[in-house]
Structure 1
Amino acid sequence: MEASTASAKKKTSLARAVFSGSLGNMLEWFDYGLYGYFATIISRDFFVSDDPIVGLLLSFLVFGTGFLVRPIGGILIGMYADKHGRIKALTLTILCMGVCTFCMGLLPTYSQVGIVAPILLTVLRLLQGLATGGEFGSSLTFIAEYGTPNNRAFLVSWQPFSVGCGLLLGSAAGLLVTTILPEAALYDWGWRVPFACGILIAVYGVHMRKNVPDSPEFLKMKERESKADEPHAPVKDLFLRYKKPIVTVVGLLVGSSATYYLLITYMPTYISEFMDTSLSSAFVVNTSVIAIYLLLCPVMGMLIDRIGRRKCLIVGCLGFLLLSYPVFSVLVQQTNAAVMIALLGILIVFQTILAVAIAVVSAEVFPTKLRNSGVGFSYNLAAAIFGGLAPLAATALIAATGDQLSITYLILGAILITFLTSIFLLKGFYSKER
């Protein structure tokens, strides 16, 4: 009876740790999703241009600036987490993200304060980028350190699941306000309401994280350090001794980051702007695709634990390389939402494989003492270059070529790099794959 009670308590503690570790990601992607979904409205409110495509490009440029500082946040907050604990870092990042998201919903427009409006928007995006850079690495590290080699991918799968939850929540909020509000009200104040609600997630997240202990692996590492009395310099050690893991994680994330932002965050804009479909229909498609992603995350986690990290990565890459162009060739000819959902759902299967496999690999290739710094820097460097700028690059490429299918050229080029990294660089880490 006592053994059964202890086992139940352990499972409850594990579930609570995974949930609290994932909550910040949900807030992070709730905000990122909202910005991508309302990019068309934001471009009109904060940037003045006779050409709507130019305004949209400027809007995505500001979106991308938040990603440019993410590696800095990953290093600074990662260093803090490697020294003082994952939970302390996670509490700091979720509070910062919540306040910035709330403030974004209160910003004045260009017509009200002129050039100050886009400047304030950019400042908030930069602050969010710093916090997000620390949040993602700390969250992934915290959850991974509660796992074992046999269940780690399943546990880590709840981290990208929480990302999908944030995007789904943002997409659902976008669908709600675009459905119930007249267009004039939506453009005037309606789009601000979901941003302002972000503070509620932050307050709840801070409360949750204050009541969860740090990961067992981190606590054991700190105990060994205190006995050895050795100086700990995670950033210095990271760049001197762990160049290959950094290059490997970045290489893996080139494709996954680009496809993620293009298939999920960018799709409402792509469908509504370049496929002559209403914004509300685009939200229906996007919300449904994210729901598919959520359902697949834990399933793929169990599959990756069973089959192996590297094998699943290769399968995910091959799926994109073979099917991206055919899927988009049919997609751009559609107006039926159900058909669009089915087509994008095909690619989402491979996206989920990549997201979960890369997340667990990122945690496993770095040692505990600098895992947070290594994951934070590598993940955010790739996200900054290949993820955050992907919507901007896609919009610019389509505008320059006039070809809706040019988005697939970005996908194929990025996935090819991930494919080659999986075959060659990753082999040394998983020569005897679990």
Structure 2
Amino acid sequence: METRAAERRTVIAGLAGNVMEWYDFGIYGFFAAAIGAQFFPSGDPSTSLLASFGVFAAGFLARPLGGLLFGHIGDRLGRRAAVVSSVVLMIIPTLFMALLPTYAQIGVAAPILLVLLRLAQGLAVGGEYTTSMVLLVEEAQPSRRGFVGSFAPFGALGGLLLGSAVGAALLAILPERDASTWGWRLAFFSGLLIGLVVFLIRRRLPPDKKILEAEQARKSPLGEAFRTQWRTILKVLGFTLGHGVGFYLCFVYLSTWLKEQQHVASSTALTLNSIAIFAMLIFTPLAGALSDRIGRKPVLIAGAAGMALFAWPLLWIIDTPHLPAILAGLGAFALLLSCNGAGPAFLVEAFPKHVRCSGLSIAYNLAQSIFGGTVPMVAVFLIKITGNPLAPAFYLAAASALSLAMALLIGRETEAEEAP
């Protein structure tokens, strides 16, 4: 009973930070067009949108640095120190995002400050997701690591869903013009409240005594990770790439894509996106639990192979004015991406404990910053130069094929007695 109680406390602390992180990015992605118009005014809406998604990507450029910093903290001072400090660093930029003046008010200083705030948030997020994955998997019972680890992406999906709910509420309460002009600021104020709650929850986590006791024996876990785990780092980077591209294409960019390509109303696009995310929210823990029974690789291989094969057909189905077809396509994407519920345990088990936060943070955040965060910008660019609204599907298929290859190459799964 005591073990289960400790596991529940860890699950709550681990997923809470991910809720905040992905709430913030979900809100930014959904209001990207409005933010682009206010901070990057242009006669061409595509140019403003491209610039707005460029700032979205800028937040990801800081993630590898955040991964290096908080991964080092996690391996030297313990997982608790890393997750508490990362959420503190996230709260301040969220507050300033809500208060930031527009281009019309302070000129070119507005987009510069916007970029700096996204960089600060990216730095904090760089240590948040991977350290929470490590925390969840290490504290889980051996037979439940896949299931408990799945609450890291579960929290991320919950954050996106919460962002969608807040966006829907704003659009329902306010005229669309007001929601786009100043209503999005209220969404960031809500993120500040979430951050304070997360901080209070994580302060109650006990320190990692084993990490603290061994701290003097490891002068540089980061250096050791590069020296001894560089092959695993490269493989994990390649594996993470596919899911990163899929996640941001399907659940951040496609809301904007539906509005731009099919002229679907903002409220309708948000509703469809929310239904698909909710489906993924349900399937993700099931995939994690399934991996505890049949292994991580079969679940992950099924998801990556399915995405590589069906990325174009599914986007073709979505490229229609018929709402049931759009929902069916989004639901299929959600099912395939849900297989990543087995991912946290798979990735955590790939590294030895003493360099786990450092190695995983480096690999995961490099993949997300280079490929995941740039997805909206790349998608807009591909459509613009090809004139083909389905062009992003080929990018997704290629990324998924690489993820499939890396899933096959990453070493055998750690047995229960050898795992964390």
Q: Distance in 2 between matches of 1:137 and 1:262?
A: 21
TM-score normalised to the size of structure 1? 0.93
Match of 1:371 in 2: 356
Q: Please, which of 136, 151, 163 is the counterpart of residue 158 of structure 1? A: 151
2:50 is aligned to 57
Gaps of 5+ in 2: none
Structure 2 residue corresponding to 1:281, chosen from 261, 268, 292: 268
For residue 49 of structure 1, report the CA deviation from its aligned partner.
Answer: 1.1
Find the aligned partners of 1:230 and 1:343 in 2 and give their Cα distance: 52
Structure-1 residue corresponding to 2:68: 75
* Aligned residue number for residue 399 of structure 1: 384
Amino acid corresponding to residue 338 of structure 2 in structure 1: T
Correspondence 1:410 to 2:395: yes
Would the aligned equivalents of 1:150 and 1:305 in 2 still touch at CA under 8 Å?
Answer: yes
Q: Which residue of 2 aligns with 1:350?
A: 336
Contact 2:23-2:162 within 8 A present in 1 as well: yes
Per-residue CA deviations over 1:168-226 (Å, capped at 9, x if unaligned) read 01111111111221123112211110111111111111111111214xxx533544x27
Aligned to 1:387: 372
**Contact 2:57–2:369 (CA under 8 A) maintained in structure 1:** yes
Tell me the distance in 2 between the aligned counterparts of 1:372 and 1:432.
20
Give, as a single letter, the amino acid of the residue that structure 2 aligns with 1:420: A
1:291 aligns with 278
Tell me which amino acid in the other structure corresponds to 1:183.
E
Percent of matched pairs sharing the same residue: 37
8 A contact 1:289–1:344 mirrored in 2:
yes
Q: 1:266 aligns with which of 248, 253, 269?
A: 253
Q: 2:135 aligns with which of 138, 142, 154?
A: 142
Give the structure 1 partner of residue 307 of structure 2.
320
Q: Match of 2:150, SS?
A: helix
- Residues 277 and 335, structure 1, Cα contact 8 Å, conserved in 2: no
TM-score by length of 2: 0.96
Q: Is the 8 A contact 1:102 1:197 kept in 2?
A: no
Aligned residue identity for 2:50:
L
SS in 2 for 1:212: coil
CA gap of 1:103–1:432, structure 2 versus 1, over 3 A, is: closer
Among candidates 185, 195, 219, match of residue 209 of structure 2? 219
CA distance in 2, matches of 1:420, 1:189: 45
Q: Residues 330-349 of structure 1, C-alpha deviation per residue, up to 9 Å, x if partnerless?
A: 2102332x432222111211
Root-mean-square deviation (CA), in Å? 1.6
- Determine whether 1:93 maps to 2:78: no
> Corresponding residue for 1:184?
177
Deviation larger for 187-196 or 125-134: 187-196
Query: Is 1:250–2:250 an aligned residue pair?
Result: no
* Unpaired segments ≥5 residues, structure 1: 1-6
Alpha-carbon distance between aligned partners in 2 of 1:159 and 1:58, rounded to the nearest angstrom: 30
In the alignment of these two chains, the number of paired residues is: 417
Cα distance in 2 between the residues matched to 1:432 and 1:89: 27
Give the CA deviation at 1:161: 0.2
Are the counterparts in 2 of residues 27 and 98 from structure 1 also a CA contact under 8 Å?
no
Tell me by how many angstroms 1:127 deviates. Answer: 0.2
Q: Which moved more, 1:147-156 or 1:377-386?
A: 147-156
Give yes or no for the alignment of 1:45 onto 2:32.
no
Superposition pairs for residues 305-344 of structure 1, below 5 Å? 305-336=292-323, 338-344=324-330
Kindly indicate whether the alpha-carbon contact (under 8 Å) linking 2:142 and 2:416 is maintained by their aligned counterparts in 1: no
The corresponding residue for 1:206 is: 199
